[in-house]
Amino acid sequence: MTDPDWPENLTVNAWTGADAPTSQVDSGAMGWALSRPETPASPQNLAAAEPADLRDWRRPEVGWGLVLPENETLSVADRAAAADAPAAIRRLLADRAGAPVFRYRPDTFPRFLRRYYADRPAQDVELAAAPRGTAPGRLPWYLLLSGGPTILPWSVQYVLNTCAFVGRLDLDDAGLERYVGCLLTDWQGAGCHPEKPVVWGVDHSASDISHLMRQGIADPVADRLAGDSQIGAGLHRITGNGASAAALLNALADAQPALVVTTSHGMTGPLNDLNLMGDHLGLLVDDGHALLDPGVLLARWQPDGAIWYAHACCSAGSDAETRYKGLVPAGSAVEQVLDGVAALGARTAPFPRRLLGAEKPLRAFIGHVEPTFDWTLRAETGQMLTTSLKEALYDHLYRARPEPVGMAFQDFYREVGRLFTVRDQAERDFNKGKPGAAAAALRSRLTAYDHQNLVILGDPTAALPPLG
């Protein structure tokens, strides 16, 4: 059969320096035209992968890692294996297979943590830009600091809080064994009740900072908890009049809560007796100015898997040098407190150490290093500056599938960068003579430090049991 439209010649759109190449159509081209062509497999149009759920810390693309101080007396292999860590920490590391070990080195921090490997050269992992996970060269989302602030300074935790979910364990060997034993089973069989939280807010007077803490933290957190249909009347709320240590003890013993939120002064005296001040550092002060004694507390109540948030001066510890030098006049009452606390050196407060190392340990404790200030709680407009705290303590810890405590506070720590940006802008405005710029710089710097000084003690993967 012939086709009247069949071409005799075909020309290609190509140039070789002469005429465009032209050729006759091959006599077998009819078969070529009518044969079924080979079709390649249809390409798959895939969207970008969905991000991992950051609650799933065991997934290698999320990850958990251990941070230890550098130890150059050890071999590289032993540093990679955390051979110098306490036995309980090594047991935890073995359970979390594939978890990396990082070393803090003062000469390269805050840019890097060093990671050692058994089978490859050591590597400095960039904190600001490293990809996430546990594979070589990556930074896990969850980091546990093992050791006190004399070997892993508080400043290390402040920096890491802005780029990871961070906790610290600073316990004696017996306390570590108890804590890690419960952590390995996720507090299996613990007797704490998420539907029976306790909120205790001391309020000495409208002119006292305790009033602001009650108004900005204790009351609104209690309101959110009470508004939850699975909690409601299960909430034990002790705020204002009657916020005594005895009332708190009774509520803890009665409710066996999974969440405890307290706002009060923290003990920072007597300034003329460092030994006694060290023993009492950060202890919660009740409405009659009596201290919440941890020995008396633990005789009546065991934490048994609870999480405790304590908004109080030095509730988490002290540092060897105050960051507020020059803020208040020399010899003033506030400077005496700041210098008196710094004289204790860098240490973890006794209260959280007792609770985290108890017979039935606390899951996590969240509290402040150094004293806190009233200006960090309320803006000049009168608006409270505690939204991210309230959301961490209810919206995140009490999700249907609760967030681990380190993740729950991520929005609070992210505010540090914004606050320092505001301070830098305020400095530029001050240099241009803009009214109010100096006060804006003061408020934003104070608030940024206050955010940094809030630390998590305990493993950052600890999470409340879900409601119901």
Question: What tens digit of pLDDT does each residue of 413-448 get?
Answer: 999 999 999 999 999 999 999 999 999 999 999 999
What is the reported pLDDT for 401? Answer: 96
What is the reported pLDDT for 18? Answer: 64
Answer yes or no: do 179 and 243 share one domain: no
Residue 9: strand, helix, or coil: strand
Cα angle: 175, vertex 179, 185; to 5 degrees:
155
What is the reported pLDDT for 382? Answer: 85
Candidates 244, 247, 249, 286; CA nearest to 264 is 286
What is the reported pLDDT for 165? Answer: 98
- Between 119 and 255, where is the model more confident? 255
Residue 209: strand, helix, or coil: helix
Boundary-marking domain end, from 123, 156, 184: 184
pLDDT band per the 50, 70, 90 thresholds, residue 49: confident
The answer as to whether 138 is a domain residue is yes
The CA-atom distances, in angstroms, between 102 and each of 58, 88, 115, 129, 140 are 17, 17, 5, 16, 10
Answer yes or no: do 179 and 272 share one domain: no
Answer yes or no: do 105 and 132 share one domain: yes
The answer as to whether 25 is a domain residue is no
Treating both helix axes as pointing N-terminal to C-terminal, what angle do 437-453 and 410-431 enclose, rounded to 10 degrees? 160
The CA-atom distances, in angstroms, between 447 and each of 73, 105, 106, 368, 376 are 40, 28, 26, 13, 5
For residue 37, cis peptide bond before it (omega within 30 degrees of 0): no
Please check whether residue 405 is in contact with residue 417, taking contact to mean a CB–CB distance below 8 angstroms.
no
Mean pLDDT of 228-239: 97
Answer yes or no: do 262 and 136 share one domain: no
Non-local (6+) Cβ contacts of 452 within 8 A are 158, 161, 416
pLDDT at 259 over 80: yes
What is the reported pLDDT for 41? Answer: 54
What is the reported pLDDT for 15? Answer: 62
Residue 274 is encoded by which pair of tokens?
């460092």
What is the reported pLDDT for 1? Answer: 53
The answer as to whether 190 is a domain residue is no
Answer yes or no: do 159 and 281 share one domain: no
Domains of the chain: total:
2
pLDDT at 376 over 80: yes
Mean pLDDT, rounded, of the chain: 93
Answer yes or no: do 385 and 243 share one domain: yes
Cα angle: 200, vertex 170, 358; to 5 degrees:
55
pLDDT at 3 over 90: no
Question: What tens digit of pLDDT does each residue of 24-36 get?
Answer: 777 776 666 666 6
Boundary-marking domain end, from 158, 184, 210: 184
pLDDT band per the 50, 70, 90 thresholds, residue 50: confident
The answer as to whether 207 is a domain residue is yes
What is the reported pLDDT for 35? Answer: 64
pLDDT at 43 over 90: no
Give this prediction's pTM.
0.90
The answer as to whether 259 is a domain residue is yes
Q: Find the range with the poorest average confidence among 14-18, 204-208, 357-361.
A: 14-18
Answer yes or no: do 211 and 179 share one domain: no
What is the reported pLDDT for 344? Answer: 97
Answer yes or no: do 207 and 133 share one domain: no
Mean pLDDT of 115-142: 94
Candidates 126, 106, 129; CA nearest to 115 is 126
Answer yes or no: do 119 and 177 share one domain: yes
- Between 119 and 153, where is the model more confident? 153
Non-local (6+) Cβ contacts of 253 within 8 A are 300, 301
Candidates 356, 274, 287, 360; CA nearest to 315 is 356
Answer yes or no: do 207 and 281 share one domain: yes
Boundary-marking domain end, from 124, 156, 184: 184
pLDDT at 38 over 70: no
pLDDT band per the 50, 70, 90 thresholds, residue 16: low
**Which residues span the domain enclosing 75?**
64-184
The answer as to whether 76 is a domain residue is yes
pLDDT at 210 over 80: yes
Answer yes or no: do 144 and 282 share one domain: no
The answer as to whether 13 is a domain residue is no
Task: Burial-class residue 173 by CB neighbours within 10 Å (0-12, 13-18, 19+).
Answer: exposed
Q: Pairing between strand 101-104 and 307-311?
A: unpaired
Non-local (6+) Cβ contacts of 25 within 8 A are 6, 7, 8, 9, 10
The answer as to whether 349 is a domain residue is yes
pLDDT at 9 over 90: no
Answer yes or no: do 211 and 335 share one domain: yes
